[in-house]
Amino acid sequence: MKNLIQKYNIPGPRYTSYPTVPFWDKEGIALEDWKTTVKKSFIESNDIEGISLYIHLPFCESLCTFCACHKKITKRHEVEQPYIDTVLKEWDLYCDMFEARPKIREIHLGGGTPTFFSSENLKKLINGIFKRADKFEVFDFSYEGHPNHTSEEQLQTLYNLGSRRNSFGIQDYDPKVQKAIHRIQSFEQVKKVHDLSRKIGYESISHDLIFGLPFQTEESIRTTIKNTIALKPDRIAYYSYAHVPWIKGVGQRGFDENDLPKDDEKRYLYELGKQLFFDNGYVEIGMDHFALPSDSLHKAMEVKKLHRNFMGYTAGKTELMIGLGMSSISDSWYAFAQNEKDVDDYTEKVNKGVIPIFKGHLLTDKDLIIRKHILNLMCNLETTWNVGLDTKTKYEIVERLQPIIDDGLVEVSDEKVKVKEEGRMFVRNICMAFDLRLIENKPETRIFSMTI
């Protein structure tokens, strides 16, 4: 296994989308084309499965040096209300396009730190969304919370607004690691917000952990997971730290690269965590995720209804996902569009009555076919060949998979491609064999984190 890790630990996409963002059309997408795909998707899906909303709330009071998200660091909470006003104006721009009231199946508040916002402003945001929308018959409302900045009032307010699932960014409990990543939070504080969530009635609580952080050791990971298991969250995300300082600049240069666990050591930390989760009743979900059998994510996997998008793994698929807020990415199934990454640029466009996208990609027929295969592999660990590929493309994919087949990580038959249990950690590499955009446009410089 050690040799396989060295062989396949190469830069590669995480496949929250296909095509991945670096391979979107350089010319972007025309705003009218984006609107056309949104209207088409809305008509096709609103009554059948509803739509999803991702709302980016970018503000944080301090900078975590491991974070690669688009955020704005400030302690000035007077920024809350004007930002929410702008998000609701953007929502109005989309609602004005629709011929019926949207039926929302899924809302996720990400960031940044969504619980940077006061209970009053969070209530204003969600109530403002539903002034022009209804809840779908199945409704899932989740949000990310910072344990140090989440109050009982916020938990109760969001629960009263319909949320039954939340997620807390834990990362690691070791003081040395926390100091390096500038994320100081005690187990006692995490336990407080976790227990309050249970008391209020949240049905699914997730804890996010990261392996591969500076100064992590076997002992620190064991302690972190022991503390996590003691609280028994319904879901655990166990992410590989993506060190991309060439993209994120100073935020990820707060420590020396020599402080990071190296390839074999890092992979051991993952395998250790994985085994500890298994020992305590968790089931592996797709890539990087674990859940208790009672959780909806596991139930969706069991019936092959698991879906993956820019929000990560979800228990249900919607064709249309609208991203609101600065830097948010929207997905109409037929196209992607990303909002302006700067708060001022984002606000200026919205105030002019313009949907604030600055880049995007209109999927080709071949993109749509490859997208289905990669989604199948990321969610179900298998895909069937009958999803639209021509003979030549299929042959070329199998040729690229051959080393992975020879290493016993994937099975390929006339009917399908199936990831073997030994190949789960290499699923990104397997998807790369299908990634025609990556094959045709090999980057000259490194643009992705390592796959393992």
Instruction: Identify whether the C-beta of residue 184 lies closer than 8 Å to the C-beta of residue 63.
Output: no
Q: Are 189 and 147 within 8 A, CB to CB?
A: yes
Q: In this model, does residue 303 exceed pLDDT 80? A: yes
pLDDT tens column, 309-349: 887 889 888 999 999 999 999 999 999 999 999 999 999 99
Q: Are 51 and 102 in contact (CB under 8 A)?
A: yes
For residue 253, pLDDT beyond 60? no
Q: Residue 32 is encoded by which pair of tokens?
A: 């009218």
CB 24 within 8 A of CB 361: yes
Spatial separation of the C-alpha atoms in residues 336 and 34, rounded to whole Å = 8
Share of the chain above pLDDT 70, in %: 94
pLDDT tops 90 at residue 203: yes
The identity of residue 332, as a single letter, is S
CA distances (Å), origin 122, targets 51, 72, 139, 241, 311 = 20, 18, 18, 30, 19
Q: Which of 140, 147, 145 is CA-nearest to residue 161? A: 140
Model confidence pLDDT, tens digit, residues 274-300: 999 999 999 999 888 999 999 999 999
- The owner of tokens 């000259």 is 444
CATH fold for the domain made of 21-362: pyruvate-formate lyase- activating enzyme (3.80.30)
Among residues of the chain, what percentage have pLDDT more than 90?
Answer: 75
Residue 260 backbone dihedrals phi, psi, to 5 degrees: -85, 145
**Ranges of CATH 1.10.10.920 domains, the chain:** 365-440
Specify the pTM: 0.93
> What pLDDT is stored for residue 250 in this prediction?
46
341-356 as b/e: b if 16+ CB within 10 A: eebeebbebbeeeebb
Q: Please tell me the predicted confidence (pLDDT) of residue 2.
A: 64
365-440 topology per CATH: Arc Repressor Mutant, subunit A (1.10.10)
Q: How many residues does the chain have?
A: 452
CA angle 356, 350, 76 (to 5 degrees): 105
Residue 445 has pLDDT above 70, yes or no: no
CATH 3.80.30.20 domain position(s) in the chain: 21-362
Q: How confident is the model at residue 247 (pLDDT cuts 50, 70, 90)?
A: very low
Confidence of residue 65 (pLDDT cuts 50, 70, 90): confident
The single-letter DSSP state of residue 161 is: T
CA 216 to chain centre: 23
